[in-house]
Amino acid sequence: MKFIRVNMSNKTIKVDDVPEKYEGLGGRSLTSTIVNEEVPPKCDPLGPENKLIFAPGTLSGTTMINTSRISVGSKSPLTGGIKESNAGGTIGAAVAKLGIAAIVIEGKAPEGEFHLLQIDIDGNVALSPAEEYKGMRTYKTVEGLLEKYGKKNSVMCIGPAGEFLLKSSSIQASDVDGRPCRAAGRGGLGAVMGSKGLKALVVAQGGKEKAPVADPERFKKAVKEIIDAIKEDPFSGQVMPNLGTAALVAPVNSMGGFPTYNGRQGVLEGWEKISGEAIAEIIKKRGGNTTHMGCSQCIIHCSNEYVDEKGKYVTSSLEYETIWAIGGMSGVVDIDTIAQFDFMCDDIGLDTMNTGVAIAVAMDSGYREFGDKKAVIEMTEEIAQGTEFGRILGNGPASVGKHFNNPRVPVVKNQSIAAYDPRALQGNGVTYATTPMGADHTAANLVGAYIGQQLDPLSPEGQVEASRNLQYTMAVADATGMCMMAALSLLSPEASEAFRSAISAKTGKEIKPEDFPSAMGIQIIKTEKEFNRKAGLTNKDDRLPDMFTKEPLPPHNTVFKISDEELDLTFNF
Amino acid sequence: MKVNVKVYGTLRDKFPDYIDSTGIEIELPEGATVHDLLSNLKISESQGAVVTMDYRILKNDFSIPKNAEVQVLQTVHSG
Ligand code: SF4
């Protein structure tokens, strides 16, 4: 496999074999190892010493279903620690099929200069000026790039938010229809890409470099078993293809854990109007698509295409976390406004969660009323315009809280929580506090364990262990390039065994059943924690803000009950 | 006894005349459990169905009180 280093300071490109020390790693395990090895931990995340790494998973480019995710790793300007944020779409598979294990962006172009990095079907890598795309939003950028280089390319790019170096900026990835609506959203990685002077990455699809599989027969068998497990699971086989992630609006409100009005209550009045069921009905009535394949090799199709009253495309995919950030946190019970916000964030290149929660903190501070639809759109547009307040907002909830002297800021390591209140889903609070990534639901979301009655969401019992174990599993999934919807359907002993078998068959190195997934997960998280420690983060950064430990959340009127000592036991290595 | 049931997820497809605002009104014997309720609705647990009431997930042997308002949901792992 090839290993590409691009130096943006002197515009040099080096293509080598994967260095021995990185062999066998992929996705999050590769990006986190490179960051820990090569990035000076105390460096300025937006300076030349930081690196931005793109790496498909170890299973990307193979016949394994749902493995087109690409991990993007760096030191985060938002959290000050290590970051891995992964995106779906088509680029993960495209990069892997060209036989590329990683693209490492180093150095920094002179301020104001922007470039494109293009990898063609023969694996040739070239940098070229991107003057004409400077300041451009992502939909127009991708449209222009696909017109120039051809539709059979995958794009990852930044929008104005990344160019302004804002801490909520995302890197957007094109979906199967060539729209930049998939995102490596978290941690402000768009700003790192902007600081390097890289506007977009364009990669040819359809490469013929077959990802080497050590034991093809065993791999084939494991793929089949995984397909069967995904189809049989009602979550991935029925709910996701029909309702997408928006299906969570009903259960999380029914558990009293839907953070509403900047976390002042756990149930949103009128949530039925923005539920997955309601959205599916609206989409059907208007002639959109309730189910849609967002990423290469997907067999679940959790995506959708939301359209307006005239049937015209508004956005894809309208997801649960975005619905919550505006519907719940900002109190806007209007699905058309939420969809417009989603499109704007993708187009400006913004994390919908960090941005929606920043708007909610501004509303909580009295800047505008909760539920003000017009304000949501106007405030988001201010970010794109780069106004003074737009920049405060675009730097996320902590920046807004500081501006208004409002301590009610639901973040960990400056990154906003997701759509599960830690006072009503205690284990998700353990995840927010202890993952090296800052508050992040994808690191270990225990909502399925609560609904499936394996764990009581309100009791502190067993939460640390459950979060820890799932964090190991998710770290392994993030290393393989497998999407979360598929990985979470492989938790049964049989399906987990098929997943272990697939990874062993791919690499030719047998993973012992007792080591899967824990030993692999520990290795990844240990590396990430080591970087964070060297960067200056301590146990004190692994805490939830006071609003969760001091303010009881209706309707259960509970607070987050896991002690600091217990949190520190999550990863005591 | 009467129980009002709201149904979510793909389980709704079982009830073609379902109206979101009113849900379904069903008649159950007093002391009926969550298990009895799901059987009455012909929903199998293999569809990932769970029942909530007053913002809590109910165990299968929980006796539903009369005039209860419950929600039948499906397991979802992440968003
Ligand atoms: S399930 Fe959704 S996120 Fe996963 S690969 Fe399919 S479309 Fe992409």
Q: What is the pLDDT of residues A45-57, one digit of tens each?
A: 999 999 999 999 9
Determine whether the interchain pair A256/B55 forms a contact, defined as Cβ–Cβ distance below 8 Å: yes
pLDDT above 90: percentage of residues in chain B: 89
From A235, A293, A296, A297, the mutation candidate for ligand 1 (largest count of ligand atoms within 8 A of CB) is A293
A417's tokens: 């929580």
Radius of gyration, CA atoms only, chain A: 22
A473 with A520, same domain?
Answer: yes
Residues of B with CB under 8 A from a CB of A: 8-10, 12, 20, 46-48, 50, 52, 54-57, 59, 71, 73-79
Q: Tell me the pLDDT tens digit for each residue of A478-506.
A: 999 999 999 999 999 999 999 999 999 99
Give the structural domain span for A19.
2-204
**Residue A495 CA to chain centroid, in angstroms?**
24
pLDDT at A525 over 90: yes
Q: Domain check: are A196 and A336 in the same one?
A: no
A392: domain CATH number is 1.10.569.10
Question: Does A559 fall in a domain?
Answer: yes
Query: Does residue A436 sit in the same domain as residue A558?
Result: yes
User: What residues of chain B lie within 8 A of the CB of A238, using their CB?
Assistant: 9-10, 47, 74
Q: What is the mean pLDDT of chain A?
A: 97
Question: Which atom of ligand 1 approaches the CA of A483 most closely?
Answer: 4
Give the integer Cα–Cα distance in Å for A308 and A569. 49
Question: Is A247 inside a domain boundary?
Answer: no
* A284 lies in the same domain as A373: yes
Q: What is the mean pLDDT of residues A166-177?
A: 98
User: In the listed set A409, A434, A464, which residue is the last one of a domain according to the structure?
Assistant: A409
Minimal Cα–Cα distance from A459 to chain B, Å? 12
Q: What is the pLDDT of residues B63-76, one digit of tens each?
A: 999 999 999 999 99
Question: Which of A485, A488, A489, A490 is the best mutation target for the ligand 1 pocket, counting ligand atoms within 8 Å of the beta carbon and taking the most?
Answer: A485
Q: Output the pLDDT for position A383.
A: 98
Q: Domain ends where: A384, A409, A434?
A: A409
Whether residue A296 is contained in a domain is answered as: yes
Split into its structural domains, chain A has a count of 3
Looking at the domain assignment, is residue A252 inside a domain?
Answer: no
pLDDT at residue A211 tops 90: no
Q: Round to whole Å and give the CA distance between A571 and A528.
A: 11
- Ordered domains of chain B (ranges, CATH): 2-74 (3.10.20.30)
Contact (Cβ atoms closer than 8 angstroms) between residue A473 and residue A491: yes
Query: Quick one: average pLDDT of A254-276?
Result: 98
- Cβ contacts of residue A22 below 8 Å, gap of 6+? A3, A30, A33, A34, A101, A102
A218 and A196, same structural domain? no
The reply to whether A62 and A111 lie within a common domain is yes
Residues A401 and A375 grouped into a single domain: yes
Question: CA A246, A250, A252 angle in degrees (round to 5)?
Answer: 95
The answer on pLDDT for B45 being more than 80 is: no
Residue A47 is predicted with a pLDDT of 98
Question: What is the percent of chain A where pLDDT is above 90?
Answer: 99
pLDDT in tens, A370-422: 999 999 999 999 999 999 999 999 999 999 999 999 999 999 999 999 999 99
Query: Hey, what amino acid is at A46?
Result: L
* A127 has pLDDT over 90: yes
CB nearest A441 (choices: B10, B56, B78)? B78
Of the residues A409, A440, A461, which one is the last residue of a structural domain? A409
Query: How confident is the model over A254-274, as a mean pLDDT?
Result: 98
Tens digit of each residue's pLDDT (9 = 90 or more) over A7-18: 999 999 999 999
pLDDT of residue A164: 98
CB contacts of B54 in chain A (<8 Å) are 555
Q: Are residues A14 and A136 in the same domain?
A: yes
| CATH code assigned at A554 | 1.10.599.10
Residues A304 and A452 in one domain: no
Are both A513 and A381 inside the same structural domain?
A: no
CB contact under 8 A, A441 and B57: no
A246 part of a folded domain: no
B44, pLDDT greater than 90: no
Q: Whole-prediction pTM value?
A: 0.98
Residue A210 has pLDDT above 80, yes or no: no
Q: Which two tokens stand for residue B27?
A: 């008649």
Our measurement of the distance from residue A330's CA atom to the centroid of its chain's CA atoms, rounded to an integer in Å, reads 21
Q: Does the Cβ of A66 fall within 6 Å of ligand 1?
A: yes
Are A295 and A185 members of one domain? no
DSSP letter, residue A350: B
- B22 vs A contacts (CB less than 8 Å): none
Query: Is the residue at A255 inside a domain?
Result: no
pLDDT category of residue A432 using cuts at 50, 70 and 90: very high
DSSP for A73-101, please give it: EEE-TTTSSEEEEEE-SSHHHHHHHTTEE
In a domain, A288, yes or no: yes
Q: What single-letter amino acid sits at A91?
A: I
Q: Do B74 and A247 touch (CB under 8 A)?
A: yes
CB contact under 8 A, B10 and A238: yes
Q: Which two tokens stand for residue A79?
A: 């959290």
For CA atoms A16, A505, A87, A520, give the dihedral sign.
negative
Contact A171, A156 (CB under 8 A): yes
DSSP for A511-544, written as a single string? PPGGGTTHHHHHHHHHHHHHHHHHHT--GGGS--
In a domain, A248, yes or no: no
Residue A212 — pLDDT band, cuts 50, 70, 90?
confident
Task: Report DSSP state, residue A235.
Answer: I
- Judged against a pLDDT cut of 80, whether residue B79 lies above it is answered with no
- A199 and A219 part of one domain: no
Task: Indicate the pLDDT class of residue B33, thresholds 50, 70 and 90.
Answer: very high
State residue A368's pLDDT score: 98
Query: Which pLDDT score is estimated for A427?
Result: 98
The protein residue whose alpha carbon is closest to atom 7 in ligand 1 is: A294
